[in-house]
Chain A
Amino acid sequence: MEVQKTALYNYHKNLGAKFVPFAGYEMPIQYKDGIVKEHISTRTHAGFFDVSHMGQFFLEGDETLIESLEKIIPADLKNLKVNHSKYSFLLNNEGGIIDDLIITRTEKGFCIILNAACKENDIKQISQFLKKNHKHLLNNDLSLIALQGPKSVEILEKLIPGVANLKFMTGSNFEYEGENLYVTRSGYTGEDGFEISISNTKVEKLIDYLISNEVKPIGLGARDTLRLEAGLCLYGHDLNEKINPVEANLKWAIAKKRKEVGGFNGWEKIKNLLANGSEKIRVGIKPDGKVIARENTKIFSSDNNEIGFVTSGTFGPSVNAPVAMGYVKSEFSEIGTSIQLEVRGKKYGGKISELPFYKKSYVK
């Protein structure tokens, strides 16, 4: 398959982006400033991220569309208000996570933001439950820009009046340059911010404006350190088809009503796990020293029994220390439990830590 590029590819190039192949796309991993500076400027001012590689999947249909989607998504879609969003997942028959996603109720149906690497399979999986009168479209004519950081609201409000009224995980239509634009107050960095769905033809103009307001371009490298500090999962690393939401410590994302009534893929298994707990569970991990426990680092108990593995690990620029997430046997998951991390054949001390590592500042 040919490598894909987002509408902003040349724009990134001119900004000095270093590209890497990611989920079939050539994506910027960093720009001239480097990951740490990009990370810090997002937390202290604002940064923009081109996340147009993610799938913007639109569904339309009558009320049977909700029934169809609820078979594979454990959110309470019936009671999801128009312009409100939820973090959720697609589940397989075993309750494993096919993908994690944000679903937003639109006037005519739903919009689901899907991970780039999963989007084609996701659509296949969702389609199994759709009826003939349900329309769906993966819209490749739209770019998706995340604007994140404390100054985001002030900067975007000047360009698109009204966005400041949005609360976290809600969205609305706005007009920009004579075109419709959909903005949600959301993101994946732990900061206040927005995701802007905008046509490929207008996106450069939006970015010009952001850059003129000192908003820095942020690559995938800093996106990873930001989301990890915020305790957020990265699909393909912290989540996969063999991990269910209870193990992933994401049971909060299964709607209360759905936990009681079920009726979604893997429900029997998840019901059982909700009642009895899972054998392993996702936790935050802080190494004691400076050593970085990266993905696949083995985790041992203080008495040297292997108890788990790291799924994401890096240096957290705002925490100013290494941070990680991983799975451990549930009896070792209590905050403060001493563990050992095997890095390059040597064991280093660490502790099970609260998540997030960096306090979120969403506008609720």
Chain B
Amino acid sequence: MSEKKFSKKHEWVSLDGDVATVGITKHATEMLGDIVFVEVPEAGKAVEKEGQAAVVESTKAASDVYSPISGEITEGNKAIADDPGSVNTDPEGASWFFKLKIKDKGDYDSLMSKDEYDKFCKENPS
């Protein structure tokens, strides 16, 4: 599995061959607060880079989760839909949102590294 890359909308991506795993960052969960609802996409759905792919809701509000990469969904993580609170506990591990077969590795290469993302969060506090 490749190193994690990060988007400005607070998603992370890791790549295994041409299959990417996408989730939301720890920083995102801290901004959202207690997560109480998650909707993940069905396998077969086509998503565009920066297009809406999933939904996450905290006690406060609903937010869209975007795919940082174009491709076709191969799997949504049903476990987090059943237990939304698990996203708060392990956002960058077991609580990934979806996997997709990517079209263009360039999408992945253009994302931020961990250091770049941390710097981005510091400069753009919500």
Where the two chains meet, the residues of A that have a C-beta atom closer than 8 Å to any C-beta of B are 29-30, 34-37, 221, 225, 290-292, 294, 314-315, 317, 322, 344
Q: Pull 14 A–B residue pairs with CB atoms less than 8 Å apart, ordered by A.
A: A34-B33, A35-B34, A35-B59, A37-B34, A225-B59, A290-B36, A290-B37, A291-B37, A292-B57, A294-B61, A315-B59, A322-B36, A344-B39, A344-B62
Chain B residue contacts of A322, Cβ below 8 A: 36-37
Interchain CB contact under 8 A, B55 and A36: no
- Which residue on A lies nearest to B61, using beta carbons? A294
**CA A163 to CA B17, docked complex, whole Å:** 68
Chain B residue contacts of A29, Cβ below 8 A: 60
Interchain CB contact under 8 A, A36 and B59: yes
A290-B81, A292-B62 are contacts. A344–B55 as well, Cβ < 8 Å?
yes
**CA A37 to CA B55, docked complex, whole Å:** 23
Closest A-B pairs by Cβ, 10 of them: A315-B36, A36-B34, A35-B59, A34-B33, A34-B34, A292-B37, A290-B37, A292-B57, A35-B34, A315-B59
- Which residue on B lies nearest to A20, using beta carbons? B60
Q: How far is the CB of B73 from chain A (nearest CB, A)?
A: 17
- Which residue on B lies nearest to A290, using beta carbons? B37
Beyond the given pairs A290-B84, A315-B59, 9 more chain A to chain B contacts, judged by CB atoms under 8 angstroms and listed by A's residue number, are A34-B33, A35-B34, A36-B59, A221-B59, A290-B81, A292-B62, A314-B59, A315-B57, A344-B62
Taking each of A29, A37, A315, which has the highest tally of chain B beta carbons within 10 Å of its own beta carbon? Answer: A315
Interchain CB contact under 8 A, B55 and A315: no
Chain B residue contacts of A315, Cβ below 8 A: 36-37, 57, 59
**CA A226 to CA B82, docked complex, whole Å:** 23
Chain B residue contacts of A294, Cβ below 8 A: 61-62
Q: How far is the CB of A268 from chain B (nearest CB, A)?
A: 41
Chain B residue contacts of A290, Cβ below 8 A: 36-37, 81, 84
Interchain CB contact under 8 A, B36 and A292: yes
Q: How far is the CB of B28 from chain A (nearest CB, A)?
A: 14
**CA A294 to CA B57, docked complex, whole Å:** 11
Chain A residue contacts of B55, Cβ below 8 A: 344
Interchain CB contact under 8 A, B60 and A35: yes
